[in-house]
Amino acid sequence: MTRQGWTVTSPLESERFAWLDTISAPVQKGWHALFRANQGTMLAKNALNGVPWRHRVHPAIIILPLGAWTTAALLDTLDGFASRNGESQYRASADAAVAFGLVSAVPAVLSGWADWVDQYGHQRRVGMAHALTNITAIALYAASMGLRVRGMERRRTARALAGLGYAIVGAGGVLGGEMVYNLGVNIPHVLYPKAPVKWADVLGSNELPEGTPVVVDFERVPVLLLRHEGSIYAVESWCPHAGGPLNEGTFEGCIVECPWHQSRFDLRDGHPVQGPAATLLRTFEVREAGGRISVKPSFEAADWPPAPAPPAEHPALAPQ
Ligand code: FES
């Protein structure tokens, strides 16, 4: 059986993090009620999603607080050194950068909730972790700002709180990036159909000789099969970097090299071993019996991106 490889958000799939779903359900309901309250709030959500501009607002607007807090981190560091010799000329600018970050975080946060409110499954859970991480960072910056306006005595603590906030907002950024690049949040899914989660008889055993890759069509998804040292591996034949045809690539044992930009992947679990691709190939479980080969999306592939919930179960459409 081919298992999907590890990603940064894999630990969040564990039952230990089910509490994120418990929090997500009422929060999601609350945001839905707010965004759907009237025509005006619907228009506001449209704007926060980026509909009028045909471009997502969230990834564009987060550069404001991130840029401000990066500036603050630099100025705080210079302030720390300069303060040893008395008065520092960096202090007022550092405070202004922290303050600007806090103000610009408001539209960044709102656009994030507007995007998250329509997520479900693992994407919703990772999105909640991303939100909680960033809220923690904002709280630290707010506390830092409070100390800054109160004067000099707490300056060191104020800088430390901002530094901690900066590290945490970085972790939030990693989760946000994972949501897009690995979990496929808000990418145009129409480009890449997903195979249904079921076993499909795709090939005769005698049609897959050792070491010769074969591509089969599984309901519009090209599945690349390779028999290697007694095992059969199956992955999507689209390269996750830009959709290159992996079946036309070069093979070396269980490693395939994409013919377009030379990304290399391990077919055993789909993990990238050479860029530019940095995300996993979707993998398939393989069964061989009675001279026939069947495949089915592996558990992780079936949940990545998750299959859409039927409308009646979708939180956005569930009866109130
Ligand atoms: S499409 Fe495969 S490496 Fe770019």
Report the separation in Å between the CA atom of 285 and the middle of ligand 1, taken as the mean of its atom positions. Answer: 24
Most confident residue range from 88-97, 129-138, 293-302? 129-138
This prediction has a pTM of 0.73
Q: Are 91 and 162 within 8 A, CB to CB? A: no
Closest ligand 1 atom number to CA of residue 277 = 3
Return the HEC string of 131-153.
Answer: HHHHHHHHHHHHHHHHHHHCCCC
Ligand 1 centroid, distance to 264 Cα (angstroms): 9
Q: Hey, which of 106-115, 235-244, 302-311 has the most confident mean pLDDT?
A: 106-115
Mean pLDDT for 146-167 is 91
- 155-181 vs 63-83: helix axis angle to the nearest 10? 150
Residue 68 has pLDDT above 70, yes or no: yes
pLDDT of residue 191: 61
At 246, the pLDDT band (50, 70, 90 cuts) reads: very high
Per-domain residue ranges of the chain:
10-187, 190-302
In Å, what is the CA distance from 94 to each residue of 65, 73, 165, 229? 13, 8, 14, 61
Q: Assign a CATH topology to domain 190-302.
A: Rieske Iron-sulfur Protein (2.102.10)
Counting DSSP H helices and E strands in the chain, the numbers are 8, 10
Block residue for tokens 């390269």:
239
Six-digit token string for 133: 């991480």
Checking if the pLDDT of 302 tops 80, the result is no
Give yes or no for a cis peptide into 107 (omega within 30° of 0).
Answer: no
Stretch among 23-27, 134-138, 231-235, 294-298 having the lowest mean pLDDT: 294-298
| Nearest-angstrom CA–CA distance, 310 and 320 | 16
Report the largest interatomic distance among the alpha carbons of the chain, rounded to a whole angstrom.
Answer: 83
**What sign results for the dihedral spanned by CA atoms 31, 168, 166, 144?**
positive
Tell me which residue of 3, 4, 8 sits closest to 280, measured CA to CA. Answer: 4
Residue 218: what pLDDT? 87
pLDDT band, residue 6 (cuts 50/70/90): confident
Distance CA 3, CA 285 (A): 7
Whether 278 lines ligand 1, by a CB cut-off of 6 Å, is no
Averaged pLDDT for residues 202-224: 91
CA distance 267 to 234: 7
Asked whether the predicted pLDDT for residue 297 surpasses 90, the reply is no
Q: What is the mean pLDDT of residues 83-98?
A: 86
* The pLDDT of residue 55: 83
Q: Is 313 helix (H, G, I), strand (E, B) or coil?
A: helix
Task: Give the pLDDT band of residue 204 (cuts 50, 70, 90).
Answer: very high
What residue owns the CA closest to ligand 1's atom 3?
261
Q: Is the CB–ligand 1 distance for residue 260 below 6 Å?
A: yes
Query: In which band, very low, low, confident or very high, does the pLDDT at 190 lie, cut at 50, 70 and 90?
Result: low
Residues 76-102 have a mean pLDDT of: 88
CA distances from 288 to 40, 41, 232, 285 (A): 57, 54, 9, 10
Query: What pLDDT was estimated at residue 206?
Result: 93
Highest average pLDDT, of 118-132, 162-176, 231-245, comes from 162-176
Ligand 1 nearest-atom number relative to CA 262: 3
Indicate if ligand 1 lies below 6 Å from the C-beta of 281: no
| More confident call, 10 vs 172 | 172
